[in-house]
């Protein structure tokens, strides 16, 4: 059977007729990284279960809260991750900062602190609290919603000082990375509380998404897909980049498997790092016309110490992902979905895979998938 006839047969089975012309490719809009003068995003955060932390923040016993609900004049918000080395280092300074605030009559009750665990769940944060003896509230940002809302900084720790103005908190200072000295930072907090002018110039922080680059050409991506498929005795006849509105680096694969012709798809997943001394990750995932994940190919994926995934790590991730259905919610479970020494990377891979659900819906809309 010729490829042309085979493709017509596949399309007829899918009842989709001739493939339509897709809209021009557009770059997904990025949320700019928050800076001094911006209002902190109005997002829902998980209310601490412990009464002592709810009382500290002045919150009622409800499932979620907004930052504007916190009873404070100034709030120090630290975006952190349990597995981030610099966040572990900074824990001592933040604990000391909390104690200094609580001992200072001019600060106590007016200045409060909150930690947001990027990509962490309640169990992970409970472990972090116990390990580092954290005295202030920690809330999870398991799905990276809060981190995305502030512009996805290029790592953690990312510390933001906000001040209540009217009904909202306004950003007065941001700091990416470890805060080196306790006393100057405490004085900065005091200046912000009293309304003194604070120097904010010279900072050039950017969203991690602004510089994401897999570092491989389109032809290289196609060759990687072809090589991997051949390892599975799948013969790719043609790999074509698609112009899919709202998404980049999506490919249609015309292939022959076990004597049958079919159409699969591939997408490049790129996710910004969470830890400030880690690397961005880039990978390819392949799925069929029903939305079932068929394979995982690393481009640049690392584990603890920024060491590249070994083949056993790649095979572990394949076992975790292959067979997942993009038409259904895909949830990351740290206990079962993690490659050893790659907790943050595993969570980021799932974060990227979740975008595949949106890609699949776009492919269906354009008539490519079932």
* pLDDT number for residue 302: 96
- CATH dotted code for 45-206: 3.40.30.10
| Neighbouring residues of 12: CB distance < 8 A, sequence distance ≥ 6 | none
Nearest residue to 74 via CA among 52, 90, 51, 97: 97
Q: Residue 111: which of 73, 167, 77 has the closest Cα? A: 73
Total residue length of the chain: 370
Q: What pLDDT does residue 233 have? A: 85
Q: What pLDDT was estimated at residue 201?
A: 55
Parallel/antiparallel/unpaired status of strands 281-288 and 260-271: antiparallel
Token pair for 241:
């980049």
Residue 235: predicted pLDDT:
86
**Cβ neighbourhood burial of 251 (10 Å; 0-12, 13-18, 19+):** buried
Residue-wise pLDDT tens digits, 260-287: 899 999 999 999 999 988 899 999 999 9
Q: How far apart are CA 67 and CA 20, in angstroms?
A: 46
Identify the H or E element spanning 189.
helix 182-194
What span, in angstroms and rounded, lies between the C-alpha atoms of 299 and 280?
11
Domain ranges of the chain: 3-29+211-365, 45-206
pLDDT of amino acid 202: 55
E-strand stretches of the chain:
45-46, 64-65, 74-80, 111-118, 138-141, 158-165, 168-176, 234-244, 247-257, 260-271, 281-288, 293-300, 302-303, 307-308
Which parts of the chain register pLDDT below 70?
A: 1-30, 200-202
Q: How far is CA 179 from CA 131, 156, 159, 182, 205, in A?
A: 20, 11, 9, 7, 15
Handedness of CA 53, 55, 61, 67 (dihedral sign): negative
pLDDT, tens only, 146-178: 999 999 998 999 999 999 999 999 999 999 999
What pLDDT is attached to residue 370?
A: 75
What is the number of other CB atoms lying within 10 angstroms of the CB of residue 302?
A: 20
CB 38 within 8 A of CB 171: yes
The reported pLDDT for the residue numbered 198 is 78
Q: Is 235 helix (H, G, I), strand (E, B) or coil?
A: strand
């Amino acid at each position: 059977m010729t490829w042309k006839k085979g493709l017509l047969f596949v399309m007829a089975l899918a009842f989709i007729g001739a493939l339509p012309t897709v809209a021009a490719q557009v770059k997904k809009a990025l949320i700019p990284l928050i800076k001094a003068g911006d209002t902190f995003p109005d997002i829902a955060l998980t209310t601490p279960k412990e009464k002592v932390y709810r009382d500290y923040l002045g919150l009622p016993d409800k499932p979620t809260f907004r930052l504007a609900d916190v009873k404070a004049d100034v709030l120090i918000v630290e975006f952190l991750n349990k597995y981030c080395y610099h966040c572990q280092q900074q824990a001592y300074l933040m604990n000391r900062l909390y104690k200094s605030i609580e001992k200072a009559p001019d600060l106590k009750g007016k200045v409060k602190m909150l930690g947001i665990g990027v990509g962490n769940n309640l169990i992970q944060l409970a472990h972090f609290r116990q390990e580092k003896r954290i005295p202030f509230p920690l809330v999870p940002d398991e799905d990276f919603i809060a981190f995305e809302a502030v512009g996805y900084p290029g790592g953690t720790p990312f510390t933001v000082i906000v001040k209540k103005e009217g009904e909202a908190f306004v950003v007065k200072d941001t700091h990416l990375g470890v805060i080196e000295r306790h006393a100057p930072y405490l004085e900065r907090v005091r200046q912000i509380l009293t309304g003194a002018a604070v120097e904010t110039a010279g900072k050039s922080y950017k969203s991690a998404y602004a510089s994401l680059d897999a570092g491989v050409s389109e032809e290289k991506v196609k060759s990687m897909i072809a090589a991997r498929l051949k390892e599975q005795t799948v013969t790719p006849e043609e790999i074509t980049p698609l112009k899919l509105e709202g998404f980049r680096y999506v490919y249609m694969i015309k292939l022959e498997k076990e004597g049958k012709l079919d159409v699969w798809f591939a997408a490049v997943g790129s996710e910004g790092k969470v830890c400030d001394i880690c690397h961005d990750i880039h990978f390819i995932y392949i799925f069929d016309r029903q939305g079932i994940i068929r394979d995982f190919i690393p481009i640049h994926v690392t584990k603890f110490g920024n060491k590249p995934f070994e083949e056993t790590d790649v095979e572990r991730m394949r076992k975790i992902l292959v067979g997942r259905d993009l038409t259904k919610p895909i949830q990351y479970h740290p206990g079962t979905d993690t490659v050893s020494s790659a907790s943050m990377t595993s969570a980021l891979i799932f974060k990227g895979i979740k975008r595949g659900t949106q890609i699949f819906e776009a492919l269906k809309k354009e008539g490519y998938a079932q």
